[in-house]
Amino acid sequence: MNTELLHLKSHLGTLDQNAVPYTPIDLCKWIRLNDLQCVYPNVDIALRMYTCTPATNCSAERTFSCLKRVENYLRSTMSEERLNYLAILCIEKTILQDLDINFVIDEFARRKARR
């Protein structure tokens, strides 16, 4: 890791001052855009971990709160598998909102009967 960091520092020193990435996310993007993941694999992994780690645990707490609401409301009326799927839908509601509901309905109708 130390040699990768020293090499990266010298590599960045050869760049034009306007092209040098200053933030961790910019550095991570720069490594990806220039296909340098194999040159700096440990730096790439460390940067991805650093940029993906939440600063607080609020999102995790919201996830557990959501799961608790779904579980309390529906616990006695459904299977564990369905409860898990509903929890994922509730937790990932931003992705769910971007889905085209007509596509989902068409895909569901195209599949064979479930019962």
Residue at which a domain ends, from 14, 37, 52:
52
Same domain, 71 and 38: no
- From residue 101, give the alpha-carbon distance in Å to each of 2, 88, 95, 111: 50, 17, 12, 16
Predicted confidence (pLDDT) at residue 100 exceeds the cutoff of 70: yes
Residue 70 is predicted with a pLDDT of 63
Provide the whole-model pTM: 0.45
| Pair 15, 48 in one domain | yes
pLDDT of residue 59: 64
Q: Is the confidence at residue 74, as pLDDT, over 60?
A: no
5-63: per-residue pLDDT in tens?
888 888 888 878 777 888 888 888 888 888 888 888 888 888 888 888 777 666 666 66
- Asked if the structure places residue 68 within a domain, the reply is yes
**pLDDT confidence of residue 21:** 83
Q: Do 45 and 71 belong together in one domain?
A: no
Say what the pLDDT of residue 112 is: 72
* Residue 43 counted as domain residue: yes
Q: How many domains does the chain have?
A: 2
Q: Are residues 11 and 44 in the same domain?
A: yes
The residue range of the domain holding 38 is 2-52
Residue 37 near residue 44 (C-beta atoms within 8 A): yes
SS3 annotation, 5-47: HHHHHHHHHCCCHHHCCCCHHHHHHHHHHCCCCCCCHHHHHHH
Q: Is the pLDDT of residue 114 over 70?
A: no
Same domain, residue pair 92 and 48: no
Sign of CA dihedral 87, 88, 93, 99: negative
Structure tokens at 69: 């609401």
Rounded CA-CA distance 9/18 in Å is: 16
Per-residue pLDDT, averaged over 72-88, amounts to 72
